[in-house]
Amino acid sequence: MNSKNRWIFFGVAVFILAAVSFTPLVIPYGVTEPYFLGLPRTLWAGLGISLSIYVLLVLAMLTSGDQR
């Protein structure tokens, strides 16, 4: 995958993850269930999405080295 396509992939993936975080899957109105590790739904789901974007960031960083 060339640099341009790679960045399209990362951009679309981050966009989808961010978009999901604005849906009732992550922020259901007034709902706290189900709890996970003692944390309410919005919090653990939000943490999960943040970590997923972080993983994408690390991948983007690792694959942007060949521009050297």
State the nearest-atom distance from the C-beta of 58 to other proteins, in Å. Answer: 6
Q: By CB under 8 A, tell whether 46 contacts other proteins.
A: yes
18 binds other proteins (CB under 8 A): yes
**Alpha-carbon span 26 to 46, nearest angstrom:** 7
Residue 34 near other proteins by CB under 8 A? no
> For residues 6 and 63, is the Cβ–Cβ distance under 8 A?
yes
Give the integer Cα–Cα distance in Å for 41 and 20.
Answer: 14
Instruction: Kindly state whether residue 58 participates in binding other proteins, applying the rule CB under 8 A.
Output: yes
**Residue at 48: amino acid letter:** G
- From the list 1, 4, 5, 22, which residue makes contact with other proteins (rule: CB under 8 A)? 22
